[in-house]
Amino acid sequence: MAEPRPISSRDNPLLVRVRKLVADPGAYRRLGEVWLEGDHLCAAFVQRGGRALQAVVTSEGWTRPPLRDLASRAAAVAIVPAELMAGLSSLESPPSIGFVVATPTAPALTPDAPSVVLDRLQDAGNVGAILRSASAFGFAQVVALKGTAALWSPKVLRAGMGAHFALRLVEGVDAEALDTLRLPLLATSSHAERALHEVDLPWPCAWVLGNEGQGVAAALAGRCTMALRIPQPGGEESLNVAAAAAVCLYESARQRSA
């Protein structure tokens, strides 16, 4: 690690760049960098073998041994006043540390990896929550079709809580790219005859999750081996897509372990 350098100007090029990453969900594609906000995300990145290009830590945070050690894992460290860190955050309580990391190289689809396919999901919180469920329940790959919220945007990263670094993430592809998968595609439908728990689910498989308002596109639904219903005895019309994903991915994991 190089000698930590203090930054006191809001117009410093590093801080200007980070603010762009925070303000624009897709900026990481143009700038080639991703902003990880907070010690939890930074620690998750390091635990998975990541090497940050730059750590930004508050003056107070630098005095705390755990954060100082975490910051020291980056190739370079900038120390900023708390008010400048607040300008790099969209949170009500800004964190004491953040990492700038290189935008991960988009991998090719792995044909036989247990997968989750996101079809035009718009809400960053939903996307991040689904990534967490995918990682928790043993799915290895998430494929985000065109029109889905940017996977490495700050909001999705925060909602993912570090799941990004445990998954193979492929984004911005057309539905035709799914031809590469050698897996049965599964979807949910409130009108399906068979309930989720009544079927022997295949493994590995790919669960297809559709847009919050429109559901899975008709052409994509036509590719699915089966559509299954999630029982809802409480009588609600439908589940939030992230909640539905958690139910489906859990059921796959439960049957697999059983």
Q: Give the DSSP letter string of 89-151.
A: --SSS--SEEEEEEPPPPPPPPTTS-EEEEES---HHHHHHHHHHHHHTT--EEEEETTSPPT
Is residue 81 exposed (0-12), middle (13-18) or buried (19+ Cβ within 10 Å)? Answer: middle
Identify whether 204 is preceded by a cis peptide bond (ω within 30 of 0): yes
> Tokens representing 29?
């594609």
Which of the 8 DSSP states describes residue 8? -
Give me the domains of the chain, ranges plus CATH numbers.
5-102 (3.30.1330.30), 115-257 (3.40.1280.10)
Angle at 247 between CA 245 and CA 252, to 5 degrees: 95
pLDDT tens-digit map of 2-34: 689 999 999 999 999 999 999 999 999 999 999
Residue 90 pLDDT > 90:
no
Contact 211, 242 (CB under 8 A): no
Q: Say if pTM beats, i.e. exceeds, 0.85.
A: yes
Write down the pLDDT at residue 84: 97
pLDDT tens-digit map of 168-194: 999 999 999 999 999 999 999 888 899
